[in-house]
Structure 1
Amino acid sequence: MALHWDDFRLVKAIAERGGLTLAAEALAINHSTAFRRLAAIEASLDARLFERHRSGYVPTAAGEAMVRAAARMETDVATFSREIAGRAQAPAGELRVTAAASFLSSVMMPLLGRFCDRYPQIRLDVVVSEEALNLSRRDADVALRATDGPPPTLVGRRLADIAWAIYGRADASREIEGRDWVAPSEGVGGGRHFRFVQARAGKDRVRLQLNTVLGLAEAVESGIGIAPLPCMQGDATPALARLAPPEPELASTLWLLTHPDLRHAPRVRAFMDFMAEEIAPMRPLFAGARPIT
C-alpha cells in the first residue's frame, strides 16, 4: 500500500508519546484504529517500526527514520500554510493568538472586544498558555509574551516594560520581614519569581505556590501571604497595597510576536497594529508609575 501523510503522523505520535493510547488520543482516533493502522504500515514496509516493551513503544532504526521524515514533512506543511496565509489580501479569516491567562483576564479581553468590533471578518482563536507555543509550527499566529529575549526566529514589537513589586493586603501590616508568602512555582517565568521569593522567605514561609500568575492577587487578598505581582495587576486591586518599590530583578518586557512569513498577512498586521495602538497609553501602568500609598 502507498504511504500517506497520516501514516507518518501516526508513527511520529507513537514515538513522541511512547505508546498507542496517548498517540490515538492526540490524533483523535481510537486505540484499535491506531493498532490496525500501525500493523498495516509495518506490513506494507515489511519492517518493524517499534519494539514493544512493558514501558512503551521504542522506535527501531526504521521507525526513527520514519519519524525524521515525518518531522520534515510537518515543517514543510507548516511553511506552506504560513506562505499561503501571508498572501491573503483582506483582514479576514481565523487568527490564533496565545497569551498567559493572567494577561488575558486582566488586560486583554476588553481589547479583544474592541478588535472584534473593528474587524468583524476576523475570527479569533485564543490559546491560553503559560508556555511559549511554537509559532513556526503554527501552534499560534501571534503571541503576547513577557520576555527579556524574544526568539531570534520571530519578529514583532516591544509593547511595554512590565514592573513587579511586592504586595500585601491594604488593611494589614506593611512589614515584609517575618511574613508568609505566596509564590509562582518554579516553572513560571523561568523560575526567577520563585527564586526571588525563596531568597526572602525561605521554604517554610511559602504557604502557597501557583503554576500561573493568575490567582496570585486573589491569594494575597485572601490573606494567605504577601507576593510579587505585576504592578498593573496589583495597583488595579483596591484591597492590595505595595509594600516596596518595584523590584528591578523581576522586571520584564511585553512583546507581540509572529513568524516572519506571517507578518505581512492582513489579519496579523491588523491585530499587531491594533494592539500596539491600544497598549501604548497603558505603558505607564505596566511600568508601575504609581507611588506607594
Structure 2
Amino acid sequence: MPPALAWDDFRLVKAISDQRGLTQAAERLGINHSTAFRRLGQIEAALHTALFERHRTGYVATPAGEEMVRIAARMEEDVTGFARRLEGAAPTPAGELRVTTADSLLIDLLTPILARFCARCPEVRLDVVVSNQALNLAKRDADVALRATDDPPDTLVGRRLATIAWALYGRAGDGDGGALAERRWVSPAPGLGAAKAARYVLERTAPERVVLRLDTVVGLADAVAAGIGIGPLPCLIAERRPGLVRLSAPEPDLSAGLWLLTHPDLRRAARVRAFLDFVGEAILRERDLIEGRS
C-alpha cells in the first residue's frame, strides 16, 4: 500500500524548502521545532526516502523533496483559488479586506479615504499592509493593491486612476540664489522602486553633493522639509507641505501610473467591488493634485 500523506505533510515539506530550515518553517506554520522535526522524520520513514539533505547552510531538497514541493505549490494554488471563488459570491460588502500600498500613498492620499469607506461599509474590516514591495495578490498576500507602477502584472485586473507627477522641491528661502547643481541634494535609494528619481539626481549634480539617501519617499519629503537638501518628490506629497517650494515643472520622465488592482477571482466579491468603486472615485477627485496641476 502507498503511504497515506496529508495536506499538512506537503505544507511542511514546502515550508522547509522555502525557508531552508526547520526552525523558520515551524515558525511559519505555527508549530514548534520538535514537532516539525518529528513529523519530517515520519514522512521520510513512510516514503522510505530522504526528502532533504542537511547542510551547514540549511536544508536542501532531494529530487523526491522537490517533487513534493511542486505538488504542494499546485495544491496551495488550487486551495487559494477555491477560496477566492467562494468569496467572490458573497452578496454584501462584509468580511476582512486586505489592502496593500506604499507608505507615501497611505499617509498622503489613502488614509482619509479609508476613514470615509469604513463609515460607508461598517461590516468590512480593513487589514492594511504597508509595503514598498509588490505583494503577491495571487497567493492572497493581499486582496487589493494601490500601486505606483507603469507595468502592472498581467495576472491582475484594475484601473489606472492617475499619473503621479514628480518635480524638484526645496525648502522655502533656503539658498534661492545658488545654482541647483551646487546645492545639497537628497535622493531616493535606487532599491525603493524610484530608480528613475535616483538617476535624475545623479544627472543633475555631482555625487558628493548628495548628502542623504533614503528608502522611503515620506522620509525623503521630511528631509527636504528639514532643509537637509533639495530633491525630487511626488507632487501629491510635496504640495501638502506648506514649507516646500517647487523648483521645477513636473518632470515627465519621473512620472508613474497610479493603479488600483485586484485578482480576477475577487473583482466581483461584494467587499472588493465596494472598495474599488469607492476608493477609485475618491482618488479621481484628487487627480489635479496627483498630476501636479494643483
**Cα distance 1:252–1:30, how it changes in 2: closer, same or farther (>3 A)?**
same
Q: Give the Å deviation of 1:190.
A: 5.6
What residue in structure 1 maps to residue 37 of structure 2?
35
What residue in structure 1 maps to residue 97 of structure 2?
95
Cα distance in 2 for partners of 1:215, 1:87 equals: 41
TM-score (norm 1): 0.95
Cα distance in 2 for partners of 1:181, 1:5 equals: 54
What's the CA shift string for 1:52-87, capped at 9, x where partnerless? 111111110001001101110111011101100101
Residue type of the alignment partner of 1:241? V
Which of residues 2, 5, 27 is equivalent to 1:3? Answer: 5
Cα distance in 1 for partners of 2:154, 2:29 equals: 31
Cα distance in 2 for partners of 1:112, 1:143 equals: 13
What residue in structure 2 maps to residue 205 of structure 1?
209
Q: Counterparts in 2 of 1:57-206, with a 5 A limit?
A: 57-174=59-176, 175-189=179-193, 191-206=195-210
**Cα distance 1:201–1:11, how it changes in 2: closer, same or farther (>3 A)?**
farther
Q: Give the Å deviation of 1:212.
A: 2.1
Residue type of the alignment partner of 1:94? E
Cα distance in 1 for partners of 2:190, 2:38 equals: 42
Q: Give the Å deviation of 1:101.
A: 0.8
% identical equivalent positions: 61
Q: Give the Å deviation of 1:19.
A: 1.2
What's the CA shift string for 1:225-276, capped at 9, x where partnerless? 1111100111110111111111111101111001111111111110011011
Contact 1:166 1:243 in 2 (8 A): yes
Correspondence 1:242 to 2:228: no
Q: How many aligned positions are there?
A: 290
Cα distance in 1 for partners of 2:153, 2:269 equals: 20
Cα distance in 1 for partners of 2:156, 2:291 equals: 24
Contact 1:171 1:239 in 2 (8 A): no
Contact 2:96 2:127 in 1 (8 A): yes
What residue in structure 2 maps to residue 20 of structure 1?
22
Structure 1 runs of 4+ off > 3 angstroms? none
Q: Which runs of 5+ in 2 are unaligned?
A: none
CA RMSD of aligned residues (A): 1.4
Q: Which runs of 5+ in 1 are unaligned?
A: none
Residue type of the alignment partner of 1:166? L
Cα distance in 1 for partners of 2:55, 2:207 equals: 40
Contact 1:154 1:260 in 2 (8 A): yes
TM-score (norm 2): 0.95
What's the CA shift string for 1:195-247, capped at 9, x where partnerless? 22222234322222222212111111122211111001111101111111111
Cα distance in 1 for partners of 2:70, 2:214 equals: 37
SS across alignment from 1:262: coil
What's the CA shift string for 1:112-168, capped at 9, x where partnerless? 010000001111111111111111111111100111121111111111111001111
Cα distance in 1 for partners of 2:205, 2:51 equals: 52
Cα distance in 2 for partners of 1:216, 1:127 equals: 21
